[in-house]
Structure 1
Amino acid sequence: MTSQPLISVIVAVYNGDKTLQRCIDSVSDQTYPNKELIIVDGGSTDGSIDILMTNKDKIAYWKSEPDTGIYNAWNKALDHASGEWIYFLGSDDYLWKSSVFEEMAPHLIKAESENIQLVYGQVARVTEADELCCVDGNAWDYTRNGIIVDGVCTFTHQGMFHHRSLFEIYGKFDESYRIVGDYELLVRAFKEGGDALFVNGFIVAGMQTGGVTANCTELVKETARARRNNHLKVVTIPWLISYAWAICYPSLNHILGDKNTRYLVNFGKRFVTGLSHKKNAILEPKND
């Protein structure tokens, strides 16, 4: 690996002209030089194409054509990615500061030297008005326990850098999923074990609340399907609580507002998965 690994940034967009320029600027403004931006548009009918044309000097590859969803777009983009590390950013999200890649690069180099295929930091959830709701991102033992054992999405892809070998070994995203294809890929890759590198206290991106993951009930149902297809236990206590949260989410959002509801949901998720993690730690056999 070179001293400056190439980072491929992949963005899928559909009718995202309100936020796309901010997303592109957050990548092009990075002080880290060894990067490329790949954008796949799903056939937008707003001003997104005009934005892509205006910024073509900042984009290594872009294409606009109808697709079947975000994972179809990501898979098409992967065919054009040259980087050792792949980073997926939503068109309504943005890198937190201009030095994100520069500060992350040493951790990517360290991870590859240790044969680690996933490096991640934290993600700030923000409202459309740029109000900070909360910050996601926890140590790998907690995160993996939530993904594999509990069946809860204890991660945000906007904080994650995937080594290209992860896709070479485990394949691309399963396009049959509309919301949790990134979760299913992590289940596929880490259900038998494996390590990831967590950069604690480092915010990678701002993630705008809403989008497809706002459909909480569908998210929980797809999570169950992903676990079933990977031969993992589906009905767990944290998963049932997540289902209950998903049913209540629209009412809570109406009463409390987006910011307070997101904070409450994240607190509940941390509490439940934290209890599960402690229970599993107690049950694990100790070596004499």
Structure 2
Amino acid sequence: MSNAKENDKSISVIIVTYNAADTLQACLDSIYRQTYPKLQIIVMDGASVDGTIDILKANSNRITFWKTEPDKGIYHAMNKALNHVKTDWIYFIGADDELLPEFSAMAAQLDNTNCIYYGNVLVQNEKNGGPTNALTHTMHNICQQAMIYPAWVFKKYRYDTTYPIAADYALNIRCWADKSLEFCYQDLTIANYNHTGISSVIKDERFEKDRLKLVFRYHGFKMWRKLITRRWKEIRQSRKI
């Protein structure tokens, strides 16, 4: 990969929806308010029945592509949406989340297509995020709404839909191990993240079962051992408390 040219810095903003009529317009309006001009909106709807389709129709002149049909879950819908990307950068936002002004500042800094850029999000009006490393990431995922990916990543990888809630975490573990990629932190708060979404309130039991196996496969024995040691220390500490 090479540095992105100025005229190639368009970003596809992907929204996956299902019965999101209560929040979708606010999400779209937050995208419209961005000062960064090169945003293309892609919406993949899972056959909503609550008025979501009416909102999409009303906004169709500002949405690059949208489609409604049944899907097999969030990440299946995201994988379908990726088939319609024509930009060099990709960002995912929930229909109940909103972009903040610093998203445009981060977008303007996208100059290296070997980088997955990530910043911070607001959670209940508090800044959440910060720089991380491979070991820390094996314990805690980066919020998906804090990340902007070079599009080629999704030509190489797709979301593993066997993980219904944490497929983005599984993907990021693979990306950490990819020698052609690096994670580039920007201290910018780019989205207001709704902490009541499914990924925040329900654990992905399949992913939790496979986490150590994924770390061993993509990071090797040393990182796997560090993760085991760190988990054991946290368990001992919690028992002391």
Question: Residue deviations 1:227-279, cap 9 Å, x none?
Answer: 42453549736557999xxxxxxxxxxxxxxxxxxxxxxxx9xxxxxxxxxxx
Shift of the 53–165 alpha-carbon distance from structure 1 to 2, 3 Å rule, reads same
Tell me the equivalent position of 2:150: 163
- Asked if structure 1 preserves the Cα contact closer than 8 Å seen for 2:99 and 2:191, the reply is yes
Structure-1 separation of matches of 2:201 and 2:146 = 21
Cα separation, 2, equivalents of 1:75 and 1:135: 29
Given the alignment of the two structures, is residue 54 of structure 1 paired with residue 50 of structure 2, yes or no? no
Gap change, CA 1:227 and 1:42, over 3 Å in 2: farther
Q: 1:104 aligns with which of 99, 103, 106?
A: 106
What TM-score do you get using the length of structure 2 for normalisation?
0.84
1:186 aligns with 2:172: yes
Q: Looking at secondary structure, tell me which structure has more helix per residue.
A: 1
Is residue 3 from structure 1 mapped to residue 18 from structure 2 by the alignment?
no
SS of the residue 1:57 aligns to: coil
Q: Kindly indicate whether structure 1 or structure 2 has the higher relative contact order, using CA contacts under 8 Å at least 6 residues apart.
A: 2
Secondary structure of 1:122's aligned partner? strand
Aligned with 2:25: secondary structure? helix
1:154 maps to amino acid: N
Aligned to 1:12: 16
Alpha-carbon spacing, 1:240–1:96, altered in 2? closer, same or farther (3 Å): farther
Structure 2, unmatched stretches of 5+, are 218-223
Tell me if structure 2 keeps the 8 A contact 1:14–1:41. yes
- What amino acid sits opposite 1:163 in the alignment? P
Which residue number in structure 2 is paired with residue 223 of structure 1? 208
1:65 pairs, out of 40, 63, 69, with 69
Cα distance in structure 2, aligned partners of 1:107 and 1:241:
38
The match for 1:40 is 44
Residue in 2 that maps onto 1:146: 136
Q: How far does residue 203 in structure 1 lie from its aligned partner after superposition?
A: 0.4
- AA paired with 2:54? D
Deviations along 1:161-187, whole A, 9 cap, x unmatched? Answer: 000121223x11111111110000011
- Amino acid paired to 1:231: F
> How many angstroms apart in 1 are the aligned matches of 2:42 and 2:234?
34
Please tell me the residue identity of whatever aligns with 1:125.
Answer: V
Matched residue count:
225
The structural deviation recorded for 1:29 is 1.9
Aligned residue identity for 1:45: V
CA RMSD of superposed structures (Å): 2.5
- The residue aligned with 2:198 is 212
SS in structure 2 of the partner of residue 225 of structure 1: helix
Over the matched positions of the two proteins, sequence identity in percent amounts to 31
Q: Cα gap change, 1:230/1:48 in structure 2, threshold over 3 Å: closer, same or farther?
A: same
Q: Which residue of 2 aligns with 1:93?
A: 97
The residue aligned with 2:221 is none
* Distance in 1, Cα, partners of 2:117 & 2:84: 21
Distance 1:185 1:227, change over 3 A: farther
TM-score by length of 1: 0.71
**Partner residue in 2 for 1:74:** 78
**Aligned equivalent of 1:119:** 117
Which stretches in structure 1 are left out of the alignment for 5+ residues? 127-131, 244-267, 269-288
* Matched position secondary structure for 1:58: coil
Equivalent residue number for residue 198 of structure 1: 185
Does structure 2 conserve the Cα–Cα contact (< 8 Å) formed by 1:44 and 1:64?
A: yes
In structure 1, distance between residues paired with 2:233 and 2:27? 34
Q: Is the 8 A contact 1:123 1:136 kept in 2?
A: yes
> 149, 162, 176: which is aligned to 1:176?
162
**Distance in structure 2 (CA, Å) of the matches to 1:192 and 1:6:** 24
